[in-house]
Amino acid sequence: MRLSVLAQFLFAAGQAVSGCATEAGNRRVDAAGDTSSIAGAPVVVSASPSVTLRADHRDAGIPLHVVGATRLSNGTYIVADAGTNELLAYDSAGAFLRRIARKGTGPGELRRVTAVWRYAGDSVVVVDALPLGPARISVFAPEGRWVRTWSPQAPPGVSVALAVRAVANRGHLFMVTTTPLRPARGRVIDRELERGYWYDNDGRPGTLAGTFAGPLRYRSSGMKQALIPFSIGTQFAAHNDELYTWDPDSSVIRRYRQDGTLIDLISPAIRADRVRPRDARLARRHAREIARRRFAPLRNRNIPQSLRQTIRDQIAAADEVPIPTTFPVFERILVDPHGYLWAARFRRPDRLDPNVWWVFDGDGRGVGAARLPDALSVLEIGGDYLIGVRRDLVAGENVEVFNIRRTADPSRDR
């Protein structure tokens, strides 16, 4: 993502570098640039869903608010619903089976569900986090029985909150420290640094995986600061016990072992799209709306004057934050069970451009691209299926499952 001349000057002093391993001597793969041909690609996604999961079991007017979904080996689907803070089970044909967990503070209950992943031994792990509290991790057996709940211990010397960013199918969780706001003494653009740790399944911190770049942030005087529009931090995905990262600064995808050793790099030869005037106007308006919505609950409360000034500074920052001249290349990455890497092309704020995912095999070669429905957000990619949520202002949210057909044997890649 490219910034204006002024922004580049402000950013130059504080640019962050991802990872902790040296890149010297590691294998580098320059992925093919022309992977836009979908026809005949080794990975083909069906044009329409084979299964749809709905809220038909509920009273009318109570839609799903999906924050995660996964499929177990027996075909059962598990859906995390943030609207009601429930964990729901559906059969392989999409029929509702039962409610596994509900809202509450007791054992096996959820305060504020934010994600669900398939875990070791065909169990599921659920992230349950309050905005101002520590995350809780709950594990449920394949049949829905609650197994245990734990809160991750902060690594020595770390006092900021932790967020789960990836889950390895062998039972390890990858978590990063979240960086709090800090005051500035002049106009600067920099990336916050986030530390990533592997955690065992009992909540104890393990290996430090590295230090990674967070989103670009504009900081002016005091607490007048805001995220740069279209800026995203390092994106993460896990496969077995390997960590994949996509660095938005260099547009390089890196693969690490759990001890932080860099295995290889993938350099997709994909050109970044330019930001149009319409994109900039939408971004500015969106930044203002987010700032106002974020502090709306505090407006009528008896809060200190210093906090009121912080709120005013945060809203004002949305009007002066610089707009980049290019978009990032990707916005998300996922890895399927065969070790194929899927990278979502960054989409413009009006979301009118195609929903395209680029696919790279286990050796980092670009093998094709999959065009998905425009309103579909991908949640999980399996060996022969893709799970996504389709959001509609009228119909609400439905979870849809698409078939994946592979014309080549993926076992040869790993």
Could you read off the pLDDT of 67-82 as tens digits, one per residue? 999 999 999 999 999 9
- Interatomic CA distance for residues 262 and 19, integer angstroms: 8
The predicted pLDDT at position 41 comes to 61
Count how many domains the chain has. Answer: 1
Please report whether residue 399 resides in a domain: yes
Please report whether residue 297 resides in a domain: no
The predicted pLDDT at position 188 comes to 79
In the numeric block, which tokens belong to residue 199?
A: 């955690």
Please report whether residue 298 resides in a domain: no
Please report whether residue 51 resides in a domain: yes
Provide the CATH number for the domain around residue 38: 2.120.10.30
pTM over 0.75: yes
Neighbours of 260 (CB within 10 A): 16
- Interatomic CA distance for residues 401 and 176, integer angstroms: 30
The predicted pLDDT at position 181 comes to 61
Q: What pLDDT, in 10s, does the model give residues 245-291?
A: 998 877 889 999 988 889 988 888 888 899 999 999 998 888 888 77
Please report whether residue 4 resides in a domain: no
Residue partners of 231: CB distance under 8 A and separation at least 6? 1, 215, 216, 217, 248, 324, 328
Please report whether residue 286 resides in a domain: no
**Half-sphere exposure for 107 (CA within 13 Å, toward CB):** 4
Please report whether residue 310 resides in a domain: no
Tell whether the model's pLDDT for residue 27 goes beyond 50. no
Q: What pLDDT, in 10s, does the model give residues 137-188?
A: 999 999 999 999 988 887 777 766 678 899 987 778 898 886 666 666 677 7
Please report whether residue 37 resides in a domain: yes
